[in-house]
Amino acid sequence: MKRPIGMLDSGVGGLTVVRELMRQLPKEKIIYIGDTLRCPYGPRPFEEVRKFTWELVRFLLTYNIKMLVIACNTATAVVLDELQRSLDIPVVGVIAPGTRAALKVTRSKRIGVIGTKGTIHSDAYQKSLKMIDNYVYVKSVACPDFVPIVERGDFHKKQTFEIVKKNLLPFQFEEIDTLILGCTHYPLLQKQIQKAMGRRVTLINSGEETGRELSTILQYSNLLNIYALEGKHKFFTTGDAAMFEKIASQWLDEKNYVTQQIRLE
Ligand code: DGL
C-alpha cells in the first residue's frame, strides 16, 4: 500500500526511529512532524502532552497515513492507549519494543532506564518490564539535561560528556548490565552515554527496536508498500527548519527528504 507512514516527536529525537525505518523499509514514505517550538515535552504536565500530541496526530492524519508511529517516549507513556483506541489505523509506540529488547539482552536482570521526567514519573518502563518479568530489578533515572543538548545540536562539545556523566551518576553502584535509552533523543548522545557507563553495559536504542517492530506489523497487516518509493519523505517542524535540517543531515544516511516549517493552528 502506497500511503505514507506518519511519525511524530516533540522535536528531532524521532529521527532516530526514522533512520531505522529508512534502512529497514526503504520503499516506505515517511511524513514526520517534530514539535520543536514546544520541545521539551518531558517536563510538561500530562494533560498538555496529551493536547499537543493530538494536534500533531490531527496534522498527520491530513496526509492519509496508513500507520502512526509515536516516536516519542513521553507521548507514548501518556497517550498511546488512547490513540490506539481512537484511530482506525495501527498505532505503535516506542516503549514496548525497548522493553522487549532489554529483556532479551540482560543476563543479570538488573536494568537501568533513562528518560524524560514525564516518562520516568509515568513509570511506563517499569510497568512494561514487570508485566513480562516480575523478577527484574529496574532503576529509573530522569535526565532532563539531555534533550536541550540534542535540540541545540551540541553533541560534540567537550562539556557535553561532563553533563552526561553527572546525570548518570545514580547508576554508579547499581550494577546494571543493560540501559534502556528511554527517550528518542538519547541515541544522538549514545557515544557519550556508553563512555560514561562503561563497555559492560549494553545500551538499548528503542528507536532501532521500533523499526523492527514496524516491519512486522506492516507485513502482518498487509500494509507494506511493494512499489518503488515515489517522491521524497516530508519532515515538518514547528521550529526552525534550518536547525532541524542540520541535525537531520548529520544523523540520517539518506538525503531523500524535504524539510518545512509549519504552524499548527
Ligand atoms: N524525544 C522524546 C521522548 O522520547 C521527548 C523529549 C522531550 O520533548 O522532552 O521522550
pLDDT, one tens digit per residue, over 109-151 is 999 999 999 999 999 999 999 999 999 999 999 999 999 999 8
Mean pLDDT score across all residues of the chain = 95
CB 187 within 8 A of CB 14: no
Question: Which of 9, 48, 189 for a ligand 1 pocket mutation test, highest count of atoms within 8 Å of Cβ?
Answer: 9
Burial of 211 (0-12, 13-18, 19+ CB in 10 A): buried
CB 171 within 8 A of CB 141: yes
Distance between Cα 144 and ligand 1 center (Å): 10
Question: Which of 95, 150, 183 for a ligand 1 pocket mutation test, highest count of atoms within 8 Å of Cβ?
Answer: 183
Q: Residue 157: pLDDT band by 50, 70, 90 thresholds?
A: confident
Distance between Cα 232 and ligand 1 center (Å): 25
CA separation for the pair 52, 238 (Å, rounded) = 12
Distance between Cα 115 and ligand 1 center (Å): 8
Tens digit of each residue's pLDDT (9 = 90 or more) over 19-59: 999 998 999 999 999 999 999 999 999 999 999 999 999 99
26 upstream amide cis, omega within 30 of 0: no
CA separation for the pair 114, 181 (Å, rounded) = 6
User: Cα 241 vs. chain centroid, distance in angstroms?
Assistant: 20
Burial of 135 (0-12, 13-18, 19+ CB in 10 A): exposed
Q: Residue 201: count other Cβ atoms within 10 Å of its Cβ.
A: 18
Conformational region of residue 198, where left means phi above 0, alpha means psi within -120 to 50, and beta covers everything else: left
Tens digit of each residue's pLDDT (9 = 90 or more) over 201-219: 999 998 888 988 898 899 9
Q: Residue 227: count other Cβ atoms within 10 Å of its Cβ.
A: 8
Element (H, E) at 121: helix 117-122
Tens digit of each residue's pLDDT (9 = 90 or more) over 10-20: 999 999 999 99
Distance between Cα 259 and ligand 1 center (Å): 20
Residue 155 pLDDT: 81
Question: Which of 8, 116, 120 for a ligand 1 pocket mutation test, highest count of atoms within 8 Å of Cβ?
Answer: 116
Residue 59 pLDDT: 98
Average pLDDT estimate for 143-166: 92
| Ligand 1 atom, smallest distance to 40 CA | 8
* Catalytic (active-site) positions: 72, 183
Residue 206 pLDDT: 84
Which residues surround ligand 1 with Cβ inside 6 Å?
Answer: 9-11, 13, 39-42, 72-74, 116, 119, 147, 183-185
Distances (CA, A) of 17 to 117, 133, 136, 189: 21, 26, 26, 15
Distance between Cα 146 and ligand 1 center (Å): 10
| Ligand 1 atom, smallest distance to 72 CA | 4
| Ligand 1 atom, smallest distance to 144 CA | 9
Distance between Cα 228 and ligand 1 center (Å): 32
Residue 265 pLDDT: 73
Tens digit of each residue's pLDDT (9 = 90 or more) over 59-99: 999 999 999 999 999 999 999 999 999 999 999 999 999 99
Q: What angle do CA 150, 74, 232 make, to 5 degrees?
A: 60
Query: For residue 223, what are the contacts with CB-CB under 8 A and spacing of at least 6?
Result: 1, 3, 66, 67, 90, 217
- Looking at this protein, which amino acid is placed at residue 30? I
| Ligand 1 atom, smallest distance to 41 CA | 8
CB 125 within 8 A of CB 204: no
Tens digit of each residue's pLDDT (9 = 90 or more) over 222-265: 999 999 999 999 999 999 999 999 999 988 988 999 999 999 97
Percentage of residues of the chain with pLDDT beyond 70: 100
| Ligand 1 atom, smallest distance to 206 CA | 4
Q: What are phi and psi of 125, to 5 degrees?
A: -70, -45
